[in-house]
Amino acid sequence: MKNYITFAFLASLIACNQEVPEPPKVTTNIENAANSPAQPNAVPEANDANCKFEYMKSITDKVIQQTLADNCARRSTLKPIKHKNWVF
């Protein structure tokens, strides 16, 4: 029983000695807008011209390149088809 009391006492001492993390700084949206760059890494629109392989290969930023490739893969290319009657 003495070991449990000692363990509980030491655990409470360790818990009380830990430092409280500092809260993040609060900034206003105006400060964030003034400090942010003017979108140098904007992802181009996913259209027929931008979704060509040669254009995607010319993009040097890999994050933008992958995002554009994802957007091109997700764009809707489905078209309604004429129903066919299959006969067996």
Which has more pLDDT, 70 or 35? Answer: 70
Q: How confident is the model at residue 75 (pLDDT cuts 50, 70, 90)?
A: confident
Distance CA(24)–CA(36), nearest Å, equals 18
Taking 60 as the threshold, does the pLDDT of residue 64 lie above it? yes
Residues ≥6 apart with Cβ < 8 Å to 55: 49
Unique residue bearing structure tokens 């764009």: 75
Which has more pLDDT, 42 or 2? Answer: 42
Taking 80 as the threshold, does the pLDDT of residue 35 lie above it? no
Number of helices (H), then strands (E), in the chain: 4, 0
